[in-house]
Amino acid sequence: MTSSTAPRASNARRLPPFLLLSATLLCPVAAQAQAFAGPDWTATLRGWVAAMLALMATVVGLVSSLHHRERPASFLIGMMLSWVVLRAAAAPSAAGLRPLLLTLLVLCGVQYLLRQMNWKRSWIDHALLIQCLVVPASLLLTGGQPGMLGPVWQAVLSLELVAAMGWALWLRRERLKAGADEASSREFVLMAALLLPTMAALVAERLLAASSDLLWISAAPWLNLMLPVLMLGLGLQLVNSVAHARVDAEKRIAALEQRMNERIAEVERSHSQLAEQKLEQVTERERKRIAADLHDDLGAKLLTIVHTSESDRISTLAREALEEMRLSVRGLTGKPVHLIDALGDWRAEVVSRLGQANILAEWKSPAEDIEHTFQARSYVQTTRILRESVSNIIKHSGATHATISSAVQDGDFILTIQDNGQGIPSELDGRLDRGHGMASMKSRAKQMHGQCLVESGPGWGTVIRLTIPL
């Protein structure tokens, strides 16, 4: 009874009582082993094996008490301790205890093998417990006489163990088929190496016991040792698997740490992205606020100058200042202008202005698949140059026809404005008069790192060639 309560308590975190039990068992068993030293060497061997088992039970108990997942190990401990006590109870006075210990050993063995494979059936649990009562009871009732009952029960118990081992191996093989990895196939080989000889030994022992007494007496001590050896093997396997589990856990922790670091880096990245977005939003809002203020205040004043000034020159300057203000406000975002869009804007303005002045306008654009863009400032400067040259055509040239053509060539945008007017009078050629604004057109082109060439002769019309790098 003492050994059956020990395994059940072993899952607690505190030091389980079976440890005390196995520790106290260890001394007499070792003493017994010493005592038998001498002629009966098999007894000595068994004594040592029993001592090892008691030690192993202690180790397994220590390991499994700390690991919840190793709970089935309590059955292994039960099995070991049962065997140890069985050996210790070799004296004839303890003969009544032996059947109980034997059934307990079988119970623990069967449960350990099956639960290790997560195979649990309540009827087996019940049947094994009932067996623990029935076997000793039936033997007690027959008065412990050496009759047929003893060998029959022994055979039944052995067969139960053999069946459990066979079934455990089968389950392991099935699991291996479902999904094999290196560790589990190695474990299968190990288990087969442990279980198959034990099964053979158990069967052989029973067969020998049934057939020949003489052979049984000489072979039984050897065959009997298979079971404790199996238990030692199972114990070592358990300790080994716990050690492996720890290595795995360390690897997992390392992987987890790495993943966590990655996540932290990701969060930091997205945080900085968010901050950037926020900054952009704030900048955009501020830009709009400044724009609104400038338009409301500076813009309104410039506009008043544009429309109340007596001088054309001052109105033009005020108008340009207004444009400049807008550009500065917009320039904060610095959005480039698509050349194709710019051409659309220019065409609409030039053609309608020339049309109003009854000048026939001809517009030649490059092919439609141009994908170049203009800097916002270049766009505004080019617009001014174009506007100025159209004004010149309307005001001064007396032309009836104007051709505006544009092209993209070697990374340059080329705009040619040609009219059939009277050309620039030769007396103006030297000083490039203010009214025609040629000087300002040229300086604007220079600001864009471009070039503005004016070709003109009296009666020949005027050609303005503007080249701007894109």
Partner 1 sequence: MNHILLLEDIPEIRAWLKALVKQVFANAQITECSRVQDALALVSGQRFTLALLDLGLPDGSGVEVIAALREKQPEVQSVIVTIHDDDEHLFPALQAGAFGYLLKEQSRELLVEQLQRMSQGEPPLSPSIARKVIAYFAAQAKPSSQALLHEVSLTDRETEVLLRVAKGFTLPEIGVQLGLSRHTIADYVKQIYRKLNVSSRAEAALEAQRLGLFGRN
Query: Interface with partner 1 by CB under 8 A: which residues?
Result: 292, 295-296, 299-300, 303-304, 306-308, 319, 322, 326, 330, 341, 343-348, 351-352, 355-356, 363
The β-bridge relationship of strands 401-409 and 412-419 is: antiparallel
User: Please, what is the minimum distance in Å from the beta carbon of residue 335 to partner 1?
Assistant: 11
Tokens of 36: 């038998």
CA distance 54 to 118: 26
Which residues, 6 or more positions from 457, have their beta carbon under 8 angstroms from its beta carbon?
Answer: 423
Cβ closest to partner 1, residue 62 vs residue 321: 321
User: Please, what is the minimum distance in Å from the beta carbon of residue 321 to partner 1?
Assistant: 10
Cβ closest to partner 1, residue 210 vs residue 300: 300
Neighbour-count burial of 174, counting CB atoms closer than 10 A to its CB (0-12 exposed, 13-18 middle, 19+ buried) = exposed
Cβ closest to partner 1, residue 75 vs residue 346: 346
How many other CB atoms are there within 10 angstroms of residue 167's CB atom? 15
User: Please, what is the minimum distance in Å from the beta carbon of residue 303 to partner 1?
Assistant: 5
Contact 239, 60 (CB under 8 A): yes
Cβ closest to partner 1, residue 138 vs residue 416: 416
User: Please, what is the minimum distance in Å from the beta carbon of residue 329 to partner 1?
Assistant: 9
Amino acid sitting at position 214: L
User: Please, what is the minimum distance in Å from the beta carbon of residue 453 to partner 1?
Assistant: 25
CA distance 119 to 415: 88
Tokens of 432: 């490039």
- CA distances 438 to 329, 350, 448, Å, are 28, 18, 16
User: Please, what is the minimum distance in Å from the beta carbon of residue 68 to partner 1?
Assistant: 46
- CA distances 390 to 56, 166, 309, 419, 453, Å, are 105, 103, 23, 10, 15
Q: Which residue bears the tokens 């340059």?
A: 412
Amino acid sitting at position 349: E
Cβ closest to partner 1, residue 139 vs residue 402: 402
How does DSSP assign 437-448, residue by residue? Answer: THHHHHHHHHHT
Cβ closest to partner 1, residue 176 vs residue 291: 291
Enclosing H/E stretch for 417: strand 412-419
Cβ closest to partner 1, residue 27 vs residue 300: 300
The widest CA-to-CA distance across the chain, in whole angstroms, is 150
| SS3 label, residue 365 | coil
The H-assigned helical ranges of 117-212 are 122-141, 149-178, 182-211
Cβ closest to partner 1, residue 98 vs residue 353: 353
User: Please, what is the minimum distance in Å from the beta carbon of residue 177 to partner 1?
Assistant: 50
User: Please, what is the minimum distance in Å from the beta carbon of residue 318 to partner 1?
Assistant: 8
User: Please, what is the minimum distance in Å from the beta carbon of residue 70 to partner 1?
Assistant: 52
Cβ closest to partner 1, residue 301 vs residue 449: 301
| Number of DSSP helices (H) and strands (E) in the chain, helices first | 15, 7
Cβ closest to partner 1, residue 67 vs residue 387: 387
Tokens of 362: 């001809």
335: DSSP letter:
P
User: Please, what is the minimum distance in Å from the beta carbon of residue 319 to partner 1?
Assistant: 5
Cβ closest to partner 1, residue 156 vs residue 321: 321
Q: Residues of 121-159 as b/e, b for ≥16 C-beta within 10 angstroms? A: eeebeeebeebbeebbeebeeeeeeeeebbeebbbebbe
How many other CB atoms are there within 10 angstroms of residue 94's CB atom? 13
User: Please, what is the minimum distance in Å from the beta carbon of residue 356 to partner 1?
Assistant: 7
